[in-house]
Amino acid sequence: MLKRFINYIKRTEIVQHASLLVGGTVIAQAIPILLQPFLRRFFPPETFGVYSVYISIIGILMVVACFRYEQAIVLPKRDSDASALVIAALFFSLIFSIIILLVAIIFKSWLIPLLNLTDDQGYILYLVPLGTFLLSAFQVFNYWLIRKKGFMPIAINKFSRRIVEGFTQSVFALARNTKGLVLGDVAGQITNFLVSMWQSFQMGFSIKKFSLIRLKYLLNKYIDFPRYSLIPSLMSTASYLLPVVFINKHFTSQQAGYFDLTKLILSVPLALVAGSFSSVVLNRVSDSFRNRRPIFNELRPLIVMTLVISFFEIIVITLFGETLFVFIFGEQWVQSGQIAKILVWPFALNFITSSFTSVFVALNKIIWQSIWQLFYFTLIVSLIFFSHLMFHDFIVLYTIFEIIANTSMIVLLVIVIKKYEIRIS
């Protein structure tokens, strides 16, 4: 019986597509993960704390950059309409990034103390606009590749980015240049952008049939994405990325560095698998929605896989967390192992929910997701009122809030899927 179930999972198209993406992503993500023991011995926790602040800022800003129109690229029946949305999203991203650059130049003296940075670390403010544009533009082309079922090109793109990023960071590590982490990320993002753009042109993206009149119609047709998804998505991303900024501001850059390593290791399933699962889910569920087909049976194999992976992560970190962190990264990172034993529970839940949140987009139920994102954001922002706590107690409270938020997301997903299946039955 178990053998038949495994064979059934292997034969399903959604798992085949997911396996292709996961395989490429595993290889790509293995590069920065394998480099961590090396980099963590050359760069101190404080440097990683600043790097995590930079990554968090561009991660938050990129949500706004394209006004969420990049998510609509998978929906039009005509490729010419999808191409028009690609052009619009890139234009919005460019203008937004220029505005961010002007803000960084004008308000630098105010932003540096706000983020608890030193003058030497203030250089990241000038790289934030570039990083925002590169990351958001890559996401635009990535949605085009998802639309065209270009899962192999997506995997190749991720691998190319990580090779360049890892090589650059390693060179700077050997040179003892503390700016190397951020500059390595920029180099990787440039590669990401250029390769994904080339891939998109190879897979049918074209500007030849672009029409402003048609674009105006499309922007209005998909106005629900910026109207109902922009602010909630910003809240959701900020909720995930702001904690490290809070820690850097109200505690120390060193503790932000400890938190950053814990988050990186616990996010391995999220980085290796969830993003790939989400891309495949978006493609398959969108297709099922257009053709009024049931979706739960298609999702079932992925649900089983995410539960197994989450359970395995919880067991390993709970039993061997501190030992693993010290053995792999050195004695100075023991506190990251201690934090990991607390945070593994919400990160496991987040892995499950992140694999399936694209269901809201595919079923055109982004309002439901928006309501949840507002709730999640409110929970995380309320942490500001607890900055007086000891660092350990702050982490425990953050864990409780994350568990509440992710459990409620699972409930919402079940409701949305059940309502859809009842409606088409």
DSSP 200-238: HHHTT--STT--HHHHHHHHHHTTHIIIIIHHHHHHHHH
pTM above 0.75, yes or no: yes
Q: Which residues contact 165 (CB under 8 A, 6 or more apart)?
A: 31, 32, 184, 185, 187, 188, 191
User: Mind listing the pLDDT tens digit of every residue in the chain (425 residues)?
Assistant: 545 545 544 555 555 555 555 566 667 777 888 888 899 888 888 899 999 999 999 999 999 999 999 999 988 888 899 999 999 999 999 999 999 999 999 999 999 999 989 888 999 999 999 999 999 999 999 999 989 888 788 888 888 899 999 999 999 999 989 899 999 999 999 999 999 999 999 998 888 888 888 999 999 999 988 987 788 778 878 888 899 999 998 898 899 999 999 988 888 766 666 666 666 666 666 666 666 776 677 777 777 888 888 888 899 999 998 899 988 888 889 999 999 999 999 998 988 887 777 777 777 777 788 788 889 899 999 998 998 899 999 999 999 999 999 999 989 888 888 887 777 77
In angstroms, the CA 374 to CA 233 distance is: 9
Q: For position 9, what pLDDT does the model report?
A: 47
What would the two tokens of residue 250 be?
Answer: 């109200």
Q: For position 3, what pLDDT does the model report?
A: 53
Q: For position 67, what pLDDT does the model report?
A: 92
All structural domains of the chain with their residue ranges: 24-242, 251-424
Q: For position 90, what pLDDT does the model report?
A: 96
Nearest to 342, CA basis, from 243, 252, 250, 271:
243
Q: For position 181, what pLDDT does the model report?
A: 94
Q: For position 112, what pLDDT does the model report?
A: 93
Query: Which DSSP symbol is given to 78?
Result: S
Q: For position 366, what pLDDT does the model report?
A: 75
Q: Are 340 and 262 in contact (CB under 8 A)?
A: yes
Burial of 79 (0-12, 13-18, 19+ CB in 10 A): middle
In angstroms, the CA 213 to CA 215 distance is: 5
